[in-house]
Each structure stands twice: as C-alpha cells, then as structure tokens.
Chains A and B, each alone.
Chain A
C-alpha cells in the first residue's frame, strides 16, 4: 500500500552533475583525445574544401591555364581520402565510447542494485528502475559521446570559417557574419521550444500506451460494464491531445528551418552584394567571392547543431539525475568493515573463516519502524531453538512478514538485537546468513533458463545427481520427467509454461538443494489443483525437517503441524503454543480458526 513518490528534479543547468557524469568517461580518455583530434580534422577539411575551390577558380579558371593542376588534383584527392578515413574513425570512436560508457554505467547501476536492501525495492517500482537502467542510460551515453562529436566539430568549424573569412577580407567578413548573432539567438530559442514541446509529445505518447494497455487488459471487464463508448471517448481525448501536441512540435520545427535559411541567405545576399562590388573594384578575387558565398550558408549548420546539443543536454539532465541518484543510493544494510575484513563480502567471500550455523535464533527487545516513522514492532522478544518450526498467524499488516524479514536480515532492527547462535547477526556477513537460508515465496519466481538451471540456482556447484535428488525429495521429479525435455525444459519468461503449483515445486527443490539451516515459507494461497496441492504439503513436511523454519501460514494443515504457532496482532505476540493448546484458550486464534481456516478446506474439490 505504499505510494511511490518520485523526487522533484531541478530545471537549472547543473554543472556538478555533468562533471560527475563526465567522470564516467575517464577510462576512455585516450579515445576521447583521439576523437577530438579527428573532429578537428573533419571540421578543418570542411573549411578547406571551399578554399580549394577558390584556388581552382583563381589559378585555373580565371587565368584560363592548367599549370600545376595535377598537384591540385593530388592534394584534393588526399583531402577527400583523409576525410573518408576521418568519418570512419569518428563513427567508430564515438560508437566505442558510447557503448563503453553505457556498459560501465549499467554495470555500476546493476552492482548497486544488488547491494540495495529490500526497503529500496519496497518503495521503488520495478518499472521505474527498468527505465533508468535501459532508456535513460542509453540516452545519456548517446548524448555525451555524440554531443562531444558535434560540439567539437561545430566549434572548430565556426572558428575556422570565421578565421579564414577575417583573414581573406575582414570588412567583408564582418558584413557577412553580421547575421550570426541573430542566428544564434533564434537557434537557441527554437531548439528549446522544440524540445519542450517534444517532451509533451512523449509524455502524451506514454499515456496513450497506458490507455492501450488498459483497453486490452480490461477488455473483459469493459464488456461486462458496457463501457465501450465512454472508454473510446476518454481515449479520443488523449489521441486529440497527442495530435495537437505533435502538430505543434512539427510546426515549431517547420518554422525554425525557414527562419534559419532565410537568415543565412541574408548573409549570402550581403556577401554577393558587397563581395561582388569588391570583385568589380578588383579588391578581391572571384575565388574569394565564391568562398564567402559558400561559407555564408555553411555557417548555420554548426550554429544549429550547437543550439541543439545545448537543448538536449538540458533535457537529458533529468535522466542524468535519476541515473546518478540510483547509482549513489546507499544500501540500508551493509556489512561492517571489520566483518568484511574477517569474512569477506559477496564477491570474495572468505568461507574458511565462516562459522557453521546451528540455527538458534533470538529476538532481543527488537523494535522496528519504517523510514516514515510507522512503527511495526516494539520490544519484540522470542527465542527459537534450532530445528523448530514456527508458524506465524495474523492479519495483513500485523507485522508477521516484518518478523520474517528481520530474521532474514532483509531489514535490520531499528532497536535491539537479533542473535543467531548467540551472536548478533550484524557481527557476521550477510552472505553467511543468506547462504544458510532457504526461501520459498508465495508466488514462485523462476528465472528464464531450464528447470535444471533453476534448481541449481540454490547451489551453483550442484551436480546432476544432486538436482534430481532434490527434485525427488519435493515430489517434482515425476512431473518434470513427463515434460518432453525433462530437466532441460525451458521455463520461459517468468516460468510461463508451467502451472503455479509446478513452479512452486521447482522453487522448493531450489531451496532444498542449498541444504539451508533456516527455512522460510511464505505459503501459497493461490488455487492449485488437488494433486499438486498434496505434493506440496508433503514436500513442505520433508523440507522443514531438522531446520529452523518460519511459516507465514495460510493453510490449516501446515499450521497444525508446526511446533509453535505465534499469533501476531499489531506487532505483538498475543498467543503462542501448539494448535490444540491455542484452541483450548479459545481466544483470537480460536476465532480466526473457526472463521477462516475451516472454510479453506476445499481440498476435496
């Protein structure tokens, strides 16, 4: 019932942020320098080609002589060959940097995601993280690599053109370039406008996707409610908005180009008028006039590019902030430094130093509250002996899941201590506890891959014999063998091809192959067919034997067999004991039992 609130992000240009991001380009420093040189080369040749034309006009066309033209041809040939090589280098280098940076940031992000505690996942939707890790990172890496390409090129080009013009004839240069300031201002204005309205388009587009999704997923419900007309009307509002926003964006861009080319044609006109005069007065050559006219149109391309990059950087700032905030989120639960030193961490565990776990668990004055201050447990005490099976019973929100999460160290107590085999578990590494933990979720989660892979997930060095033994123990072997490919059956994305019950059995096998000391079972309530249901019940009993176990119980048959039932209400144990003891008390458990559990006996159907 948590509502995800996204942070507000600043709109102003944040230099520190980009500096941080540019830090991720450090490993590519050499490539970056090379790329910069290549880009200067590209711009240089782009500036030089009109000069070559000038040379040809002034030395061959006007004097009507071909003296030395072979040298000219050779030089021209060299220039275009170098340019072709430059283009190859620039795309390959920028691509290498782009993909490299994206790979690096993604790796950091993923590593961080593995370290973050459950509390992060409780408040952050998976979709949000996915968007940061895929499209945001893709966008950022594109902008920082290609943005660099274009800005080096654009700047060099502008400086080069201006310098050459000034050198050839500074007066004519100033006249021709007089439109540039307006060009710059207009370009910046329009690029911002275009991007802003484009963002609106994208936002509306994702709402349309959402509406389609709803229309498809809810089609059956829509039929029963006869809501087709209203739905269409609401949808039409969205598509209308989309059309409006898209057309507006298109109009902005269609307005921009005409203004820019008209402005640069004023530059051309000026060059022609004043340059032509200068030719008549023989102050400049024909070739120079041609160069000026050429440059006057060439100039607006880099201006436009630079304005675009500036706008894109601003737009991408939100992506950058979100990605960096993900990478920089500190995990709530981490091993202490001295613990890591002694026992190692997840990446390099020093297993030789790990003590053997027995399985006694003690909660000592444990309090726990969420970050928002909501108290769940207060001064909670319990002593669990190794091998005991504990069933937790209570309403949603009573705190029973929190107790289990604390025991697994998915959360840590805000006050008090949890002892495993007599030692505060914060003195031991997380990896140690988790490698001794078996965990079966209410809705089984399998990874894509084969059944074999999924069982092996519990113990990576398990042999085929181990896997089959584990599957047999939890009664999964028979149905697996009935599948066409047996243990090599692909379970598909999220395990789509198997029934929930079958998936549950595989997740049991996965847990049992790890031979854990502590076992947690968040019992499934979803309707499972009778046959599998029986198998699961049987599997549960086998799995729990000899292990300290927690069951968040929904089913009567599992509860009645527990060594101890804890009835939790508002973070407190209100009753505890065995099934028959609790029934005798005739308290809360009794009423829960009479109201609910007896009705859930639909096994016979």
Chain B
C-alpha cells in the first residue's frame, strides 16, 4: 500500500495523461471490435439475404444511403466503414502510445532526479559505508524495471481488460451459447500462463546468475592479464572460462526449452479453442442456429482475445518484479538526508578557531575523538600527526560539518560551529580529501568546478600553485583534456594536485589537506605549501601529514593517539618532549646520519 502511494506520488502532474491514455486504449479497443461487425452485416444481410440484425439507429442510418439492393451495389460504403473505423482505432492507439510514453517518461525522470538529489544530500557517513555497486544497480536497473512496467505493462493490462469486457459483451449479445464455447479455455490459458511464469522464475534466475559468473571470470581475467601472462596460465584460464561459458549456454538453453514447451502447449490450447469455435460454429451455422456472419465475428474475436490474455499471465508475474524494484528504490528515499537547520546563520568567517573538550564518535558509545581542546589564530598552520585510526581525519571532517560533534564546543570566530549553516561553512572550508574524486569533465572544468571563473588566468594560476600546470601542458589537449573513462588516466599524485588546484582557486579562509600531498614528492610538497602561503596569508591551514619537513614548519603541531590529543606545540617544544613526534624526528636524524656516514 505504501509502495502504491509512492508510485502515485511520482505520478503527480501526469495522472491526467494516464487517464487519457487509458480512455484512448478503451476507445481503440472499441473501434477494433467494430470492423468484424461491419463484416458480419455485409456478409449476412447485404451480400446474403438474412434480415437486418442490427440496432435501429444503424438501419436508419443505412436507409439514408439506400435500400438493400442499392446497398449491394454500394459495397464500398462498408469497405470505407472498415477503413474509417480502423483509422479511428489507429488515432486512439497513437494517443495511447504518446500519452502513456509522456506520462511514464515523466515519472521516470521524476524518480531519477529525486534519487540523484536525495543521494547527494545523504550524510557523509552514508557514503562512507554504502555498497556503491548496489546503489548504482538500484538507480539504474530497478528504475528501468519500474519504467517498463509503467510504460508498457500497465497499459497492456488495460488493453486486456477492455478487450475482455467489450468482446464478451458483444459476443453475449450475439449468441450466449456460442460465447460459452468461445470463453471455455480463456481461464485455463490465463491460469496456465501465471503458473508457468511463476514456476520458471528460478530458471530465469539461474541463467542470469550463470551469465554474471561468466562475466566475473572474464573481468578478472582481463584485469589480471599480467598475472595470467606472467604465470603462463592461458590454457588454464581458457578452461576456466569455457566451463562458465558452457554453463551459461546450457542453463539458458534449458530455459529456452522450458519456454518452448510453454509457448507450444499454450499455442496448442489456443488453437484448440479456435478449432472448437470453428467446428461448433460451423455445426450451428449449418443447422441455421447462427448466421455465417456471426460465425466470422466469433472467429475473429477469438484471435483478438487470446494474445492479450496470454500476455497478461506474464505481466502479472512480472508485476512482482516491479514491486520489488519499487521497494528497493523506496529504501534509498527513506534514508534520512543531512539535516539543514532552518536558520540561515552565515557569519563572516575569518579563521580563528577554538576547540573545547570536543567529543565525537560515529556511534555514541565509542568516541573517536575524546576531550580535544586547542586554539588556532587566523593565518596559522596546524599540522596533525597520528597513527591510522587515531582520529586525524575525523577531526578535520568536523570542521566542514561532514559530521557533528556530540559534546564540547567548536567556535569559529566566536560562533558555535553547530549554529553555522552547513553549506555556508563548506563554502568557507576548503577540504582536500585523501582520495579525491575528479569529475568526468575536462581538466579546466575540474579546476574551476567550485567557482564560476571570469578569467582563464585564474585556472592557470591555481594549477601553477598546485604544481600541476606543467604536467597539464604535456597532454595533447592541455587544459581541455577530458578526465575519466573516455579520457586520460591520471596518477594518484596528479589527481591530488588537481584536487588541490580546484580547492585553492577559491580563497578559503580555512584550508584542510587530509594527507592529500602523500603522493607528491617532498620538494613539490614544500613548493606547493610555500605558494599557498604567498597566495593567501590569512588562511588558517590544517595539514595531516607524516613528513617531518611538513610538520616542522607548522605553527602548531597536534599529535593524536587513539582519539586523544596527547601532544601539542611547536617543533621546538615537542622535540624536547618524549613522544611520537620526537620518535619520528630521531629516526629521521639517524637516517640522515646513516647516509652521511655512507657518503664519507
């Protein structure tokens, strides 16, 4: 019920179109059953000499054209009637097709956009944990299942119902006993179709799974081609693939044979039904119970009825799939998005920071940051050091409000961080992630992604500051080189530097580098940092790094261990204390000594 409600909510604005297409399909069906009636009239009463057996208004209408003998000379009237009726049928079929397409495509568009926007507003934490492959699957193939259901199957059900209703009505009005003969097998065929497609679900699934597992072997072989070659395992791989290829072939063939059995037996039932109508009809026509025209109508109607009924059996089983897909999409939409406070508190941000007894944990019982207290002046550089899992990244993520702290207080220029608008704070905090993501656009567009630029020089300056300008020029298309699957593959260091360029193109008052210079060599690292300082003296900068040279230059060094701030101070202060910082420094120095010794 909830799912239907969701579906209805997506239909908003298009319900009229749906109603229109359902009415169209009704009218199209109505016109399609008229032509055989024209035929019946012509065969029985114009060419033949049966009395008129038509509603009064039809005979009145016909009397305008002429009496029976005149009509026999004007057979084209009936030919034309068939053409006109078919034309109307075609017209409504067209509107049905057009309107149902517009409606279902609009719904698909709505769902797509809602999903996309919902996903990008889901909290940071969701994206850290989510299975991206599964999420993508839901956004694409599940959505396609729903779209197809709405565009094709939904309307098909309407067609089948109208057909059944209209045809039965006309048949009953013509001859009840003949109707019983004509309808005898319909329920059986319907039930047969439903039961069959329920039963073969498993076979469909097996074939799909076999294909997936074949694809996996192929994928692994291709991405591991060096391993295969280095071990000379070609023959082994061919055998492995052959097994999967064979399995897929055999399982799918098994499915096809099941389908062959279904279609041939259900065809047989249908043909029997038609034969029954013919034989019984011929018998009754020969003894004069029904006319030849009526017999023709029954034969034609039978052919029109059987196909939609068989299809409906299949559609009803497919409907289950659409409902499952709808639920999978609903699960995404049910995930709560990031909360945005109603107040739009957007204070000017200069970069003075104060952490006071801050606690934070991804779940409340196990804090990742405990009792963090420190203070930073605008324009200072803070270096953070700690082992993996010590809480370094969490600390800087708090600053961009990707997560919210649970206890304590963080003040930016005296304003409590929690009270500052999320998007506003992110527009003022330049955060370069450890593994940055580049969009599949050109390099220029990637660098200018967060800022509408007026001058080309801004992009180039940012690229130069991030020490990536020269590498970019080495590409054939320079700044117009596309990134991504159809473009260049960049090395980790290049990606990091592009990410730095796109961040520093803005003059953020607060800059954060989450280990984002790790794939860049030391020299470039220090060059980048120097240029940054020159560009924006007032920016408060946070750097997570393992490099002593980077750490030593900072105004404040924070050493984290298991979520606690164990040491803070300048290089000169920390070198005097026993701890992680001095450890690193000592080892680096001994290395220095070691190589000086080797030189001498």
Give, as a whole number of angstroms, the nearest-CB distance from A350 to chain B.
14
A208 neighbours in B (Cβ, 8 Å): 112, 140
Give, as a whole number of angstroms, the nearest-CB distance from A590 to chain B.
8
Contact of B109 among A60, A240, A271 (CB under 8 A): A240
The CA of A125 and the CA of B272, in the complex, are separated in Å by 55
A437 within 8 A of B: yes
The CA of A56 and the CA of B281, in the complex, are separated in Å by 10
Contact of A273 among B76, B224, B248, B267 (CB under 8 A): B76
Asked if A269 and B264 make an inter-chain contact with CB atoms under 8 angstroms apart, the answer reads no
Contact of A87 among B230, B264, B549, B588 (CB under 8 A): B264
Stretch of A258-266, A384-392, A462-470 with 4 or more beta carbons under 8 angstroms from chain B: A258-266
A251 within 8 A of B: yes
Stretch of A114-122, A147-155, A415-423, A536-544 with 4 or more beta carbons under 8 angstroms from chain B: A114-122
Binary per-residue interface labels of chain B (436-476) against chain A in the complex, 1 for a CB within 8 Å, 0 otherwise: 11011000000001100000000000000000000000011
Binary per-residue interface labels of chain A (262-293) against chain B in the complex, 1 for a CB within 8 Å, 0 otherwise: 10011011111110110110000010011001
Question: Given A88-B260, A254-B101: A604 and B587 within 8 A (CB)?
Answer: yes
Smallest Cβ-Cβ distance to B525: which chain A residue = A599
Smallest Cβ-Cβ distance to A586: which chain B residue = B599
Contact of B502 among A214, A225, A593 (CB under 8 A): A225
Asked if A439 and B288 make an inter-chain contact with CB atoms under 8 angstroms apart, the answer reads no
Asked if B226 and A118 make an inter-chain contact with CB atoms under 8 angstroms apart, the answer reads yes
The CA of A221 and the CA of B516, in the complex, are separated in Å by 13
B78 neighbours in A (Cβ, 8 Å): 269, 272-273, 276
Contact of A434 among B117, B230, B587 (CB under 8 A): B230
The CA of A3 and the CA of B135, in the complex, are separated in Å by 29
Question: Given A243-B105, A251-B97: A346 and B232 within 8 A (CB)?
Answer: yes
Give, as a whole number of angstroms, the nearest-CB distance from B440 to chain A.
6
B491 neighbours in A (Cβ, 8 Å): 396
B116 within 8 A of A: yes
Asked if B226 and A99 make an inter-chain contact with CB atoms under 8 angstroms apart, the answer reads no
Contact of B485 among A98, A111, A125, A212 (CB under 8 A): A125
Asked if A445 and B227 make an inter-chain contact with CB atoms under 8 angstroms apart, the answer reads yes
Asked if B223 and A87 make an inter-chain contact with CB atoms under 8 angstroms apart, the answer reads no
The CA of A265 and the CA of B34, in the complex, are separated in Å by 13
Asked if B230 and A520 make an inter-chain contact with CB atoms under 8 angstroms apart, the answer reads yes
B225 within 8 A of A: yes
Asked if B43 and A221 make an inter-chain contact with CB atoms under 8 angstroms apart, the answer reads no
The CA of A87 and the CA of B587, in the complex, are separated in Å by 81
Contact of B229 among A254, A270, A410, A458 (CB under 8 A): A410
Question: Given A87-B260, A434-B232: A228 and B117 within 8 A (CB)?
Answer: yes
Asked if B253 and A269 make an inter-chain contact with CB atoms under 8 angstroms apart, the answer reads no
The CA of A463 and the CA of B599, in the complex, are separated in Å by 49
Stretch of B84-92, B170-178, B362-370 with 4 or more beta carbons under 8 angstroms from chain A: B84-92
Binary per-residue interface labels of chain B (204-248) against chain A in the complex, 1 for a CB within 8 Å, 0 otherwise: 000000010001101111111111111111111110011001101
Binary per-residue interface labels of chain B (118-154) against chain A in the complex, 1 for a CB within 8 Å, 0 otherwise: 0111101001101010011001100000000001000
B334 within 8 A of A: no
A566 within 8 A of B: no
Asked if A268 and B82 make an inter-chain contact with CB atoms under 8 angstroms apart, the answer reads yes
B52 within 8 A of A: no
B547 within 8 A of A: yes
A290 neighbours in B (Cβ, 8 Å): 43, 296
Asked if B271 and A84 make an inter-chain contact with CB atoms under 8 angstroms apart, the answer reads yes
B93 within 8 A of A: yes
Asked if A114 and B112 make an inter-chain contact with CB atoms under 8 angstroms apart, the answer reads no
The CA of A243 and the CA of B549, in the complex, are separated in Å by 55
The CA of A7 and the CA of B132, in the complex, are separated in Å by 32
The CA of A258 and the CA of B80, in the complex, are separated in Å by 16
The CA of A274 and the CA of B296, in the complex, are separated in Å by 19
Asked if B230 and A99 make an inter-chain contact with CB atoms under 8 angstroms apart, the answer reads no
A216 within 8 A of B: yes
Smallest Cβ-Cβ distance to A83: which chain B residue = B271
Asked if A66 and B283 make an inter-chain contact with CB atoms under 8 angstroms apart, the answer reads yes
Q: How many residues of A contact B (CB 8 A)?
A: 153
Asked if A594 and B595 make an inter-chain contact with CB atoms under 8 angstroms apart, the answer reads yes
Asked if A114 and B97 make an inter-chain contact with CB atoms under 8 angstroms apart, the answer reads no
Interface of B is mostly: helix
B257 within 8 A of A: yes
Smallest Cβ-Cβ distance to B295: which chain A residue = A61
B252 within 8 A of A: yes
Q: How many residues of B contact A (CB 8 A)?
A: 156
Asked if A276 and B232 make an inter-chain contact with CB atoms under 8 angstroms apart, the answer reads no
Give, as a whole number of angstroms, the nearest-CB distance from A38 to chain B.
12
A255 neighbours in B (Cβ, 8 Å): 94, 97
Enumerate B249-273 residues with CB–CB distance to A below 8 Å: 249-250, 252-253, 256-257, 259-261, 263-265, 267-268, 271-272
Asked if A235 and B583 make an inter-chain contact with CB atoms under 8 angstroms apart, the answer reads no
Asked if B245 and A254 make an inter-chain contact with CB atoms under 8 angstroms apart, the answer reads no
Contact of B122 among A96, A219, A458 (CB under 8 A): A219
Give, as a whole number of angstroms, the nearest-CB distance from B290 to chain A.
10
Stretch of B55-63, B158-166, B426-434, B570-578 with 4 or more beta carbons under 8 angstroms from chain A: B426-434
Asked if B268 and A81 make an inter-chain contact with CB atoms under 8 angstroms apart, the answer reads yes
Enumerate A201-251 residues with CB–CB distance to B below 8 Å: 208-228, 231-232, 235-236, 239-240, 242-243, 246-247, 250-251
Asked if B222 and A130 make an inter-chain contact with CB atoms under 8 angstroms apart, the answer reads yes
Enumerate A549-605 residues with CB–CB distance to B below 8 Å: 579-580, 583-584, 586, 590, 593-596, 598-599, 601-602, 604-605
Asked if B256 and A262 make an inter-chain contact with CB atoms under 8 angstroms apart, the answer reads no
Binary per-residue interface labels of chain B (97-120) against chain A in the complex, 1 for a CB within 8 Å, 0 otherwise: 110111001101100110111011
Asked if A83 and B267 make an inter-chain contact with CB atoms under 8 angstroms apart, the answer reads yes
Asked if B287 and A64 make an inter-chain contact with CB atoms under 8 angstroms apart, the answer reads yes
Contact of B433 among A81, A85, A95, A221 (CB under 8 A): A221
Binary per-residue interface labels of chain A (442-465) against chain B in the complex, 1 for a CB within 8 Å, 0 otherwise: 000101100000000110100000
Give, as a whole number of angstroms, the nearest-CB distance from A477 to chain B.
21
B267 neighbours in A (Cβ, 8 Å): 83-84, 87
The CA of A259 and the CA of B83, in the complex, are separated in Å by 11
A1 within 8 A of B: yes
The CA of A410 and the CA of B523, in the complex, are separated in Å by 34
Enumerate A79-119 residues with CB–CB distance to B below 8 Å: 80-81, 83-85, 87-92, 95-96, 98-100, 102-103, 106-107, 110-111, 113-115, 118
Binary per-residue interface labels of chain B (567-592) against chain A in the complex, 1 for a CB within 8 Å, 0 otherwise: 00000000000001001100110011
Smallest Cβ-Cβ distance to A55: which chain B residue = B282
A261 neighbours in B (Cβ, 8 Å): 86, 89-90, 93
Contact of A431 among B223, B226, B232, B588 (CB under 8 A): B232
B119 neighbours in A (Cβ, 8 Å): 215-216, 219
The CA of A87 and the CA of B220, in the complex, are separated in Å by 40
A169 within 8 A of B: no
A357 within 8 A of B: no
A28 within 8 A of B: no
B387 neighbours in A (Cβ, 8 Å): 605
Contact of A346 among B221, B234, B241, B245 (CB under 8 A): B234
Question: Given A87-B267, A225-B450: A243 and B249 within 8 A (CB)?
Answer: no
Contact of A257 among B42, B93, B136, B259 (CB under 8 A): B93
Asked if A77 and B83 make an inter-chain contact with CB atoms under 8 angstroms apart, the answer reads no
The CA of A98 and the CA of B120, in the complex, are separated in Å by 43
The CA of A429 and the CA of B408, in the complex, are separated in Å by 70
A529 within 8 A of B: yes
The CA of A208 and the CA of B139, in the complex, are separated in Å by 10
Asked if B120 and A134 make an inter-chain contact with CB atoms under 8 angstroms apart, the answer reads no
Asked if A226 and B223 make an inter-chain contact with CB atoms under 8 angstroms apart, the answer reads no
B105 neighbours in A (Cβ, 8 Å): 242-243, 246-247, 250
The CA of A457 and the CA of B224, in the complex, are separated in Å by 12
Asked if B93 and A254 make an inter-chain contact with CB atoms under 8 angstroms apart, the answer reads yes
Question: Given A218-B437, A448-B216: A126 and B222 within 8 A (CB)?
Answer: yes
Give, as a whole number of angstroms, the nearest-CB distance from A531 to chain B.
12
A-B contact pairs, 25 of them (CB 8 A): A1-B489, A1-B490, A69-B282, A83-B268, A84-B265, A107-B242, A114-B237, A208-B112, A216-B119, A223-B402, A240-B109, A242-B105, A243-B108, A254-B98, A257-B93, A265-B85, A272-B39, A272-B42, A273-B76, A276-B46, A280-B47, A289-B47, A290-B296, A601-B588, A604-B587
